[in-house]
Chains A and B, each alone.
Chain A
Amino acid sequence: MSERAPLLTLNGVNTHIGPYHILQGVDLEVPRGALTMLLGRNGAGKTTTLRTIMGLWHASAGSVRFDGADITAWATPDIARAGIAYVPENMGIFADLTVRENLLLAARSGPIDAARLRWIFGLFPALEKFWLLAAGVLSGGQKQMLSIARAIIEPRKLFLIDEPTKGLAPAIIANMIAAFHELKKSSDTTILVVEQNFLFAKSLGDAVAVMDNGRVVHAGAMTALVADRDLQQRLLGLSLDRNQ
């Protein structure tokens, strides 16, 4: 793990959605150049944490610092321009636009870099095949690939990825794991992934944070959590023997 300052730091972040108090003092550090997994049961506040980082919900208290700047009150486009790419849970692709147009939109700083596009096609060959097809007609897995491709089409400092394996068949999840390994290998970027699938999480994560009831209740190295069955049982309520 890097000894440099964390790329992203959340300090006592509280977020309200209407009358509901969802995040109740989230403290989280995302180390540079590592893949951090954010785990927790449904409703623990994982997605709200990502949306708060992106400015899609604004924190009512606490602070979000990214790369030395306090981005707590920033508008979403400014946060994106600062170098954070977000892949939402529902994929958020533009269904009426083609695969090509979806990627062109994401390449905000200019034309798509040909070498990077070739690298993406290597990760997700289906995107090359359906290059000129409307994204709405892709399968669930292909849409997820497009969604991730859109995030990585330009170098970014931080990727926020919400449940990339949700609803995907095991074979596609295996592809996704391979793609993430490739992504970790090929680019010096920091990734924060919200995940429910522990098998997926443990195969990729360098660091891990576990949330419950709107707070981070555990943070540390993934290897430590993988090695400690009791901790898994206590934090995640998992009997992981069948998942190991």
Chain B
Amino acid sequence: MSILRAILSGDPPRGRPLALVLTAIFVGLAFAPLLFPGIGALNVAAKICYFVVLAASYDLLLGYTGVVSFAHTMFFGIGGYGAGLALYDLGPSWSSILIGTGAALLVAIALALVIGLFSLRVRAIFFAMITLAVANAFSILASQLSSFTGGEDGCTFRLPELLRPGFRLVAGPFAISGRLISYYLVFFAALILFLLMLRIVNSPFGRVLQAIRENEFRAEALGYRTMVYRSIGNCLAAAAAALAGVLSALWLRYTGPAVTLSFDIMLDILLMVVIGGMGTLYGAVIGATIFVLAETYLQSLMAALNHATEGLPLLPLLFHPDRWLLWLGVLFVLSVYFFPAGIVGGLQKRR
């Protein structure tokens, strides 16, 4: 138990319901290839993994530091493009992945540092606007430099042989395929990144970030140079988002504006963090899981409901699969209404 506590940086989930939900998500993801056979289910599990990292890194910014940024998908995109373009241009090797990841991290951290310096100079709302403008400019740039990035169509690339879906490490009934190896690469990388972020928020550095969020002047009066802490927080969040982007590129074997840079993804991660609970990284796990599941399966669920209510008045119309976005919206409004402090906040209160 003390080992688990140490792994979780002395910050285990508070309350049995929360611990149970998180354990269920962990077990579901760890054994996804066994529990949910089929490529579709594995896609969903992998997407949850890298979105957990992305949402947790955004929570590092929004929930722990109190910085509202709309440029987070830009860093996700930098990671995706970094790995993707390196694999495309330098060939499908592990060194390409390393070079692409390293370059993406450097670019993401440098950009985050420059953007972060604005946080000292301007009020929160203007900082948010600046990040929006920079992210938009980056997205347009990625689309327009089509000879380099593949433009709107993005870029499809090949992975090292070990990670290719057709590769078989072990054949037979307990086959270990390249897809399985890819999944566990994404899963363990996401797990390590999440635990690292948990370590950061529970370190003395994380405590200062929370103090700045609560009362910046007070933190300064205690002798903390808030600009330095904020900038480091910005850079760490950007680096984690870029690594999430690398994981997404490795899983999808594709990178493009629609899957990394789109403003829709920015809104998605904002919702994941708010629904899960701000200021708690466990909230990002729950938010990302619920969001990706709802986004993937709500349409099929509605098709089933539509079929089941056939013959009844009005209901089949309401449950028509085309209206899934409406119901997704209703689901979010209800969750924010019933869990104003996020689902984690709600589950903790029920101790």
Q: Which residues of A contact B (CB under 8 A)?
A: 54, 56, 75-77, 80-81, 86, 88, 92, 94-97, 101, 104-106, 108, 150
A223 to B207, CA, bound (A): 44
B221 A76 Cβ-Cβ under 8 A: yes
- Is B279's beta carbon under 8 Å from chain A? yes
B120 → chain A closest CB, angstroms: 11
The size of the chain B interface, using a CB distance under 8 A, is 18
Enumerate chain B residues within 8 angstroms of A104, measured Cβ to Cβ.
204, 207
Enumerate chain B residues within 8 angstroms of A76, measured Cβ to Cβ.
217, 220-221
B208 A80 Cβ-Cβ under 8 A: no
- Is B307's beta carbon under 8 Å from chain A? no
A94 B211 Cβ-Cβ under 8 A: yes
A96 and chain B: residue at smallest CB distance: B214
Enumerate chain B residues within 8 angstroms of A106, measured Cβ to Cβ.
222
Q: Which residues of B contact A (CB under 8 A)?
A: 204, 207-208, 210-211, 214-215, 217-226, 279
Enumerate chain A residues within 8 angstroms of B207, measured Cβ to Cβ.
97, 101, 104-105
B221 A92 Cβ-Cβ under 8 A: yes
Enumerate chain A residues within 8 angstroms of B219, measured Cβ to Cβ.
105
B224 A108 Cβ-Cβ under 8 A: yes
A88 to B219, CA, bound (A): 12
Choose among B204, B210, B221 the residue that contacts A80 (Cβ–Cβ < 8 A).
B221
Enumerate chain A residues within 8 angstroms of B204, measured Cβ to Cβ.
104
Choose among B218, B221, B279 the residue that contacts A94 (Cβ–Cβ < 8 A).
B218
- Given A77-B223, A108-B223, CB of A94 within 8 Å of CB of B215: yes
B218 A92 Cβ-Cβ under 8 A: yes
B279 and chain A: residue at smallest CB distance: A96
A79 to B103, CA, bound (A): 39
A101 to B222, CA, bound (A): 13
B212 and chain A: residue at smallest CB distance: A94
A81 and chain B: residue at smallest CB distance: B223
20 inter-chain pairs at a CB distance below 8 angstroms, sorted by A residue, are A54-B221, A56-B220, A75-B220, A75-B225, A77-B225, A77-B226, A80-B221, A80-B223, A81-B223, A92-B215, A92-B217, A92-B221, A94-B210, A95-B214, A96-B214, A97-B214, A105-B222, A105-B224, A106-B222, A108-B222
B228 and chain A: residue at smallest CB distance: A77
B221 A105 Cβ-Cβ under 8 A: no
A56, A94, A96, A104: residue with the most chain B Cβ atoms closer than 10 Å: A94
A97 B218 Cβ-Cβ under 8 A: no
A76 to B225, CA, bound (A): 8
Enumerate chain B residues within 8 angstroms of A56, measured Cβ to Cβ.
217, 220-221
Choose among A81, A92, A105, A150 the residue that contacts B208 (Cβ–Cβ < 8 A).
A105
A226 to B223, CA, bound (A): 37
A96 B225 Cβ-Cβ under 8 A: no
Enumerate chain B residues within 8 angstroms of A75, measured Cβ to Cβ.
220, 225
| Known contacts A94-B210, A101-B207; 13 further A-B pairs (Cβ under 8 A) | A56-B217, A76-B221, A77-B220, A77-B224, A81-B223, A92-B218, A92-B221, A94-B211, A94-B215, A95-B214, A97-B211, A105-B207, A105-B219
A-B pairs with the 3 shortest C-beta distances?
A80-B223, A92-B218, A76-B220
- Given A104-B204, A105-B207, CB of A80 within 8 Å of CB of B222: yes
B216 and chain A: residue at smallest CB distance: A76
A81 to B214, CA, bound (A): 21
Enumerate chain A residues within 8 angstroms of B226, measured Cβ to Cβ.
77
A86 to B218, CA, bound (A): 9
Enumerate chain A residues within 8 angstroms of B210, measured Cβ to Cβ.
94, 96-97
A75 to B219, CA, bound (A): 13
A1 → chain B closest CB, angstroms: 28
A77 to B224, CA, bound (A): 5
Enumerate chain B residues within 8 angstroms of A88, measured Cβ to Cβ.
218, 221
A241 to B279, CA, bound (A): 53
B220 A80 Cβ-Cβ under 8 A: yes
A141 → chain B closest CB, angstroms: 19
A210 → chain B closest CB, angstroms: 25
Enumerate chain B residues within 8 angstroms of A86, measured Cβ to Cβ.
221
Enumerate chain A residues within 8 angstroms of B214, measured Cβ to Cβ.
94-97
A38 to B203, CA, bound (A): 39
Enumerate chain A residues within 8 angstroms of B222, measured Cβ to Cβ.
80, 105-106, 108, 150
A105 B225 Cβ-Cβ under 8 A: no
A88 to B217, CA, bound (A): 10
A95 and chain B: residue at smallest CB distance: B214
A28 → chain B closest CB, angstroms: 19
B282 → chain A closest CB, angstroms: 16
